[in-house]
């Protein structure tokens, strides 16, 4: 190895990874120099986590090579990666609450003497590591008493204790408040000065620009470009992240109607002890109108849908569907008032995976008189209805009696879209309606949404696909930190503008 | 984003097809495989138990032969059915909970409490014969439902895990029964050692199907299993119940109130549990007291597991248990401890659960693969990228 090779901590070359039905990563190439903070930015679903799981040995790549400190590696499990000096700090902490900090750090790698735990040895080593990395935390405090920022420090110490010199931090700032973010960044700087290498995954562009030495952008499963923070600004980076291509403007024959289908007034949802999840959200969706919600995931979109559906208790404000105030109504009453929902996570919120398709299309519609024969389910009618959905939405399946898990993700999604549109809703909440589906299915779902819109349907479209938002929406609202922070006309909006607002930029001129 | 689909499936871009292969067969065939695997699991359990017998120096073949010889005599057959009766009821009570991922471990307490209340209330009224029996059955169901309702309220209002609540309520039930019985309901007019509540009037006696051998409660149990099938598998309520069990989040999102489902399911479960001791109370002892069997609530859990919560499965499993219990006695004649029957029953539950899980996984993989194959076969060459 030449000296330059030794400067490279991690080199990924041509990494590809497929999951059944999806290509998560392809042609990923990445070079991380030793002693630097290297940020990886990309939208949710762009393939960042898959890539990091590959590097951490959680699964094996289908193509490409991983080189760590000049040696080509084939990690079979995370323990191989740990042995090579790679450590991962997960977004969700993996700590035992009722153990002390010390116990948590040594858990799984306990130093023993003749089978007896030697905490003294451990304490000494941890203190050394903590001092070297400038990480201070009371080793004897039970983890249950620690704040989020301190827990994260424990996670970092845990990784360092196992000898990691290359640290992967998966969205480390997602759970932190601004002061904690500053402390984290100080720790990271300290670690890098001490010779460690940090791979920092994020979609918060300001933070990335502030802390990293180099930035690699991932889009649609592949690395797009690597830039230096001084060469880009937030807008430029946002554009790289979401892709600059604009969709061809989608023509529409109909006009936005006058009738109000969904009206939210000062909707607020508090989380105990935290900041507001939804903060004074007010907007209206009219007949034959698609209102898009742009926003980085986790800024209140999910809770917005839950609040409209009556699945989460709201603190204040009102929800009106059509001319009914449903603020106090049950979910079923709201659905009967005409709200339908294409969920964020089809497996969690939408489908019974082991049940047959016709039972899945019946779910939530079993109140409909046509599916009832007295108190019993009219199975024949439910089968017929499911077959109709399968045909109309081009669901690729041998029949309506196969279990839902046997379908590919795209076909499950088409089935769900079909089910929700078959309710003849007044207002459809569509969360990522085309996420994870192939291009053909995407076009089909878009066409169905447009058709329904032209026929009078009001749609609240939540999407991370900015092209989809701009192409379909009649109006785009930006959500940031639980608030609607901007209203844009899609005819004038660009992904670049959206990117700015979505990452916290303010709207100057309406 | 890794969790796209956990099972290899067709990744199709091809165009519309919706009817090919013979999907209707798919169900009955899966049913057949399930049945076959359950029978295989029972046989496997008998082999394992046989090995255990052999290791303890007994002759398993002779023991099994004796069990079969006596078991198929008509009086033993009737006894098997009689013993299967409360097990069917208990298993249905448990299965209703299982179907929505609720574990009602409290059938034991529910049926014992219901037995006492039903015996006391039944002895206090006088009604014409068929009405009297029906009235007591209704009271028993109400009492069982009441006892299960405590756990239901705790779960819905306070989020108390129903497993903990129902287990603990079993102990509470025993103490409450003891207290009620000793303080209020003990029939002090009789001085013999066999203490019981006041004897039910003749009009409240459940007629036997076969005199002294099989109570008409057997018919009631079959009716309850049938009702379980209709309500849980065919009705809208049952659809909601099963949906809540299969994916509670999706069910809630679809507008099914989880609290209401939890409450209703536990109440119905408790009501069915209330009937478990009725063969003894109405058909045998004609009161509550010594002789009302205990442990049937726990046995029902095993029977429900064994029968995979399926109505036919529950009947078959209850009969198998009944058969094993009925033949336990003859083993002693063979100098084999009759407790080996309990061992066999436990091993059967274990093997059935393990074999069924393995078979289910295998069938799921097979279904996924076949679906994928069917789609590829039906898609024009080249359409799949």
Tell me if chain B has a CB within 8 Å of the CB of A50.
Answer: yes
Tell me if chain B has a CB within 8 Å of the CB of A408.
Answer: yes
Cβ distance A351 to B1 less than 8 Å, yes or no, reads no
Shared domain for A117 and A206, answered yes or no, is: yes
Cβ distance B1 to A349 less than 8 Å, yes or no, reads no
- B203, B142 contact by CB (below 8 A): no
Rounded to the nearest angstrom, the minimum Cα separation between B309 and chain A is 16
Q: What was the pLDDT predicted at A507?
A: 58
By Cβ distance, the residue of B1, B15, B246 closest to A394 is: B15
pLDDT in tens for each of the 510 residues of chain A? 444 446 889 999 999 887 655 567 888 899 999 999 999 988 656 778 788 889 998 888 888 999 999 899 999 988 899 999 999 988 777 888 888 998 888 887 788 777 788 888 888 888 888 888 777 888 888 888 887 778 888 988 998 898 899 999 988 876 666 667 788 898 899 889 888 999 998 877 778 888 999 999 988 788 888 999 998 887 788 778 766 543 443 556 567 888 999 999 999 998 776 678 899 999 999 999 999 999 877 788 999 999 999 999 999 999 999 889 999 999 999 999 999 999 988 888 999 998 999 999 999 999 888 999 888 999 999 999 999 999 988 888 888 998 998 887 778 899 999 999 998 899 999 998 987 666 567 777 888 888 899 889 999 999 877 778 888 899 999 998 889 998 988 888 877 778 778 877 765 544
Shared domain for A36 and A178, answered yes or no, is: yes
Between CA B283 and CA B217 the distance in angstroms is 8
By Cβ distance, the residue of A49, A311, A412 closest to B1 is: A49
Asked if residue A345 belongs to a domain, the reply is no
Estimate to the nearest angstrom the gap between the alpha carbon of A477 and the chain centroid.
Answer: 19
Cβ distance B11 to A405 less than 8 Å, yes or no, reads no
- B266, B155 contact by CB (below 8 A): yes
Residue whose C-alpha is closest to residue B292's, from B169, B180, B197, B191:
B197
Between CA A355 and CA A434 the distance in angstroms is 23
Percent of chain B with pLDDT over 70: 88
Shared domain for A166 and A288, answered yes or no, is: no
Written as six digits, the tokens of B16 are 């519309």
Q: Which of chain B's residues have a Cβ under 8 Å away from the Cβ of A309?
A: 253
Shared domain for A458 and A371, answered yes or no, is: no
Where residue A202 sits, what CATH number does that domain have?
3.40.50.300
Q: Which of chain B's residues have a Cβ under 8 Å away from the Cβ of A335?
A: 254-255
* Residue in B closest to A52 by C-alpha: B2
Contacting residues for A340 by C-beta, under 8 A, at least 6 apart: A420, A421, A423, A425, A427, A428, A429
Rounded to the nearest angstrom, the minimum Cα separation between B39 and chain A is 24
Q: Which of chain A's residues have a Cβ under 8 Å away from the Cβ of B19?
A: 387, 398-399
* B 131-170 near A (Cβ less than 8 A): none
* B 248-267 near A (Cβ less than 8 A): 249-257
- B42, A441 contact by CB (below 8 A): no
Tell me if chain B has a CB within 8 Å of the CB of A411.
Answer: yes
Shared domain for A123 and A235, answered yes or no, is: yes
Residue that the structure tokens 């948590």 belong to: A104
Shared domain for A315 and A378, answered yes or no, is: no
Q: Which of chain B's residues have a Cβ under 8 Å away from the Cβ of A440?
A: 13
Q: Which of chain B's residues have a Cβ under 8 Å away from the Cβ of A400?
A: 18, 23
Cβ distance A341 to B253 less than 8 Å, yes or no, reads yes
- Out of A380, A406, A423, a domain closes at A423
Q: Which of chain A's residues have a Cβ under 8 Å away from the Cβ of B252?
A: 311, 331
Query: What angle do helix axes B311-333 and B296-306 make, rounded to 10 degrees?
Result: 120
Q: Which of chain A's residues have a Cβ under 8 Å away from the Cβ of B3?
A: 347
Residue whose C-alpha is closest to residue A406's, from B233, B34, B23:
B23
* A 385-404 near B (Cβ less than 8 A): 387, 390-391, 394-403
* A 425-444 near B (Cβ less than 8 A): 436, 438, 440
By Cβ distance, the residue of B242, B253, B375 closest to A398 is: B375
Task: Tell how strand A475-480 and strand A483-488 pair up.
Answer: antiparallel
- Out of A397, A423, A449, a domain closes at A423
Q: Which of chain B's residues have a Cβ under 8 Å away from the Cβ of A397?
A: 18, 371, 375
Written as six digits, the tokens of B208 are 């036997």
Residue whose C-alpha is closest to residue B370's, from A7, A240, A446, A399:
A399
Shared domain for A288 and A326, answered yes or no, is: yes
* B 205-244 near A (Cβ less than 8 A): 230, 234-237, 239-240, 242-243
Q: Which of chain B's residues have a Cβ under 8 Å away from the Cβ of A362?
A: 239
Cβ distance A396 to B4 less than 8 Å, yes or no, reads no
Asked if residue A247 belongs to a domain, the reply is no
Task: For the beta carbon of residue B161, count every other beta carbon within 10 angstroms.
Answer: 12
Tell me if chain B has a CB within 8 Å of the CB of A407.
Answer: yes
Tell me if chain A has a CB within 8 Å of the CB of B357.
Answer: no
Count of all residues that appear for chain A in the document: 510
Residue whose C-alpha is closest to residue A315's, from A279, A281, A269:
A269
* Residue in B closest to A356 by C-alpha: B27
Between CA A366 and CA B253 the distance in angstroms is 13
Shared domain for A84 and A152, answered yes or no, is: yes
Asked if residue A250 belongs to a domain, the reply is no
Rounded to the nearest angstrom, the minimum Cα separation between A420 and chain B is 10
pLDDT 10s digits, B205-221: 888 887 778 889 999 99
Residue that the structure tokens 């009649």 belong to: A474
Is the pLDDT confidence value at B13 over 80? no
Domain that holds residue A290: 256-338+425-510
Is the pLDDT confidence value at B9 over 70? no
Rounded to the nearest angstrom, the minimum Cα separation between B357 and chain A is 14
Written as one string, the DSSP assignment of B36-81 is: HHHHHHHHHHHHHHHHHHHHTT--HHHHHHHHHHHHTSHHHHHHHH
Shared domain for A221 and A279, answered yes or no, is: no
- Out of A217, A242, A267, a domain closes at A242
Q: What was the pLDDT predicted at A177?
A: 63
Tell me if chain B has a CB within 8 Å of the CB of A384.
Answer: no
Tell me if chain B has a CB within 8 Å of the CB of A60.
Answer: no
Using a 10 angstrom Cβ sphere, with 0-12 exposed, 13-18 middle and 19 or more buried, the burial of residue A446 is middle
Rounded to the nearest angstrom, the minimum Cα separation between B255 and chain A is 4
Written as six digits, the tokens of B68 are 């079969």
Cβ distance A331 to B26 less than 8 Å, yes or no, reads no
Q: What was the pLDDT predicted at A274?
A: 67
Asked if residue A384 belongs to a domain, the reply is yes
* B 16-35 near A (Cβ less than 8 A): 16-21, 23-24, 26-27
Written as one string, the DSSP assignment of A481-495 is: TTEEEEEE-TTT--H
Q: What was the pLDDT predicted at B385?
A: 31
Between CA B163 and CA A19 the distance in angstroms is 38
Tell me if chain B has a CB within 8 Å of the CB of A301.
Answer: no
Q: What was the pLDDT predicted at B18?
A: 34
Rounded to the nearest angstrom, the minimum Cα separation between B232 and chain A is 10
Between CA B367 and CA B375 the distance in angstroms is 12
Least confident of A408-417, B99-108, B118-127, B193-202: B193-202
Residue whose C-alpha is closest to residue A285's, from A465, A478, A461:
A461
pLDDT band at B380 (very low <50, low <70, confident <90, very high): very low
Q: What was the pLDDT predicted at A52?
A: 87
Cβ distance A332 to B9 less than 8 Å, yes or no, reads no
Total domains, chain A: 3
Asked if residue A112 belongs to a domain, the reply is yes
Rounded-to-5 percentages of helix, strand, coil across chain A: 35, 25, 40
Tell me if chain B has a CB within 8 Å of the CB of A454.
Answer: no
How far is the CA of B223 from the CAs of A197, A380, B278, in angstroms? 70, 26, 14
Shared domain for A333 and A432, answered yes or no, is: yes
Cβ distance B5 to A19 less than 8 Å, yes or no, reads yes
Between B348 and A435, name the one with better pLDDT.
B348
Cβ distance A376 to B2 less than 8 Å, yes or no, reads no
Q: Which of chain A's residues have a Cβ under 8 Å away from the Cβ of B247?
A: 348, 351-353
Shared domain for A201 and A263, answered yes or no, is: no
Q: Which of chain B's residues have a Cβ under 8 Å away from the Cβ of A410?
A: 11-12
Q: How many inter-chain contacts (A to B, CB under 8 Å) are there?
A: 169
Written as one string, the DSSP assignment of A237-289 is: HHHHHH-SPPPPPPP-SS---SSEEEEEEEEEE--TTS--SEEEEEEEEETT-
* Residue in B closest to A374 by C-alpha: B235
Cβ distance B26 to A395 less than 8 Å, yes or no, reads no
Query: What average pLDDT does range B282-307 have in this prediction?
Result: 89
Query: What average pLDDT does range B229-257 have in this prediction?
Result: 93
Domain spans, chain B: 86-314
Percent of chain B with pLDDT over 90: 47
Cβ distance A408 to B23 less than 8 Å, yes or no, reads no
Q: What was the pLDDT predicted at A468?
A: 83
């Amino acid at each position: 190895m030449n000296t330059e090779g030794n400067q490279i901590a991690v080199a990924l070359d041509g990494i590809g990874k497929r999951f059944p039905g999806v290509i998560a990563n392809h042609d990923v190439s990445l070079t991380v120099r030793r002693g630097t903070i290297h940020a990886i930015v990309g939208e949710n679903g762009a393939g960042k986590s898959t890539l990091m799981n590959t590097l951490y040995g959680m699964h094996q790549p289908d193509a490409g090579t991983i080189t760590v400190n000049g040696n080509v590696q084939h990690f079979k499990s995370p323990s191989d990666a740990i042995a090579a000096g790679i450590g991962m700090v997960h977004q969700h902490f993996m700590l035992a609450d009722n153990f002390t900090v010390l116990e948590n750090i040594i858990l799984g790698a306990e130093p023993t003497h003749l089978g007896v735990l030697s905490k003294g040895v451990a304490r000494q080593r941890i203190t050394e590591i903590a001092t070297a990395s400038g990480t201070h935390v009371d080793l004897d405090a039970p983890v249950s008493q620690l704040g989020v920022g301190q827990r994260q420090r424990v996670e970092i110490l845990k990784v360092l204790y196992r000898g990691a010199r290359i640290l992967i931090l998966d969205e480390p700032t997602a759970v932190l408040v601004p002061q904690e973010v500053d402390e984290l960044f100080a720790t990271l700087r300290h670690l890098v000065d001490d010779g460690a290498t940090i791979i920092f995954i994020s979609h918060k562009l300001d933070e990335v620009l502030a802390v990293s030495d180099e930035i690699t952008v991932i889009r649609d499963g592949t690395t797009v470009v690597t830039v230096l923070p001084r060469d880009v600004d937030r807008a430029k980076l946002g554009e790289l992240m979401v892709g600059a291509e604009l969709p061809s403007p989608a023509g529409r024959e109909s006009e936005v109607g006058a009738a109000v289908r969904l009206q939210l007034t000062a909707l607020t949802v508090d989380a105990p002890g935290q900041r507001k999840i939804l903060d004074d959200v007010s907007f209206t969706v009219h007949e034959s109108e698609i209102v898009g919600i742009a926003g980085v995931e986790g800024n209140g979109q999910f809770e917005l849908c839950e609040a409209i559906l009556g699945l989460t208790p709201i603190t204040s404000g009102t929800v009106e569907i059509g001319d009914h105030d449903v603020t106090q109504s049950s979910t079923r009453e709201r659905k009967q008032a005409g709200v339908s929902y294409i969920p964020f996570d089809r497996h969690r919120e939408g489908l019974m995976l082991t049940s047959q398709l016709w039972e899945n299309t019946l779910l939530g519609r079993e109140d409909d008189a046509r599916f009832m024969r007295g108190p019993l389910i009219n199975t024949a009618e439910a089968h017929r209805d499911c077959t109709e959905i399968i045909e109309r939405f081009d669901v690729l399946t041998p029949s309506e009696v196969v279990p839902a898990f046997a379908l590919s993700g795209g076909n499950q999604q088409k089935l769900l879209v079909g089910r929700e549109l078959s309710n003849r809703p007044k207002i459809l909440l569509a969360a990522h309606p085309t996420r994870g589906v192939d291009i053909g299915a995407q076009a089909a779902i878009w066409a169905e949404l447009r058709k329904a819109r032209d026929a009078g349907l009001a749609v609240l479209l939540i999407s991370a696909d900015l092209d989809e938002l701009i192409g379909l929406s009649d109006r785009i609202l930006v959500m940031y930190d639980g608030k609607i922070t901007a209203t844009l006309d899609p005819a004038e909006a660009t992904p670049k503008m959206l990117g700015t607002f979505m990452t916290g930029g303010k709207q100057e001129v309406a | 984003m890794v969790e796209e689909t956990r099972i290899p499936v067709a990744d199709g871009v091809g165009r519309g097809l919706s009817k090919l292969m013979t999907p209707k067969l798919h169900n009955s065939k899966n049913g057949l495989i399930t049945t076959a695997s359950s029978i295989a699991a029972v046989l496997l359990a008998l082999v394992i138990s046989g090995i255990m017998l052999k290791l303890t120096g007994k002759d398993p073949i002779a023991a099994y032969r004796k069990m079969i010889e006596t078991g198929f005599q008509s009086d033993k057959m009737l006894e098997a059915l009689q013993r299967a009766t409360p097990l069917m009821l208990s298993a249905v009570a448990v299965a209703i909970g299982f179907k929505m991922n609720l574990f009602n471990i409290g059938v034991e307490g529910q049926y014992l409490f219901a037995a006492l209340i039903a015996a006391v209330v039944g002895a206090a009224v006088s009604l014409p014969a068929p009405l009297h029996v029906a009235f007591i059955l209704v009271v028993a169901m109400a009492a069982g439902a009441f006892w299960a309702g405590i756990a239901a309220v705790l779960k819905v209002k306070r989020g108390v895990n129903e497993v903990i609540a129902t287990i603990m309520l079993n102990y509470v039930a025993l103490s409450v029964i003891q207290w009620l019985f000793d303080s209020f309901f003990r029939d002090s007019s009789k001085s013999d050692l066999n203490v019981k509540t006041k004897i039910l009037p003749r009009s409240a006696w459940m007629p036997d199907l076969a005199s002294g051998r099989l109570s008409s409660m057997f018919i009631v149990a079959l009716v309850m299993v049938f009702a379980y099938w209709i309500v849980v598998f065919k009705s809208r309520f049952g659809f909601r119940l099963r949906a809540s069990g299969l994916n509670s989040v999706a069910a809630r999102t679809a507008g099914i109130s989880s609290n209401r489902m939890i409450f209703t399911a536990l109440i119905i479960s408790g009501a069915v549990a209330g009937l478990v001791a009725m063969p003894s109370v109405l058909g045998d002892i004609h009161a509550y007291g010594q002789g009302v069997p205990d442990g049937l609530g726990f046995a029902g859990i095993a029977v429900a597991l064994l029968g995979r919560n399926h109505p036919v499965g529950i009947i078959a499993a209850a009969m198998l248990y009944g058969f094993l219990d009925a033949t336990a006695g003859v083993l002693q004649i063979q100098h084999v401890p009759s407790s080996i029957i309990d061992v066999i029953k436990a091993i059967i539950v274990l093997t059935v659960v393990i074999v069924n899980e393995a078979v289910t996984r295998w069938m799921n993989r097979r279904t996924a693969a076949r679906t994928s194959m069917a789609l590829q076969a039906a898609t024009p060459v080249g359409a799949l990228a």
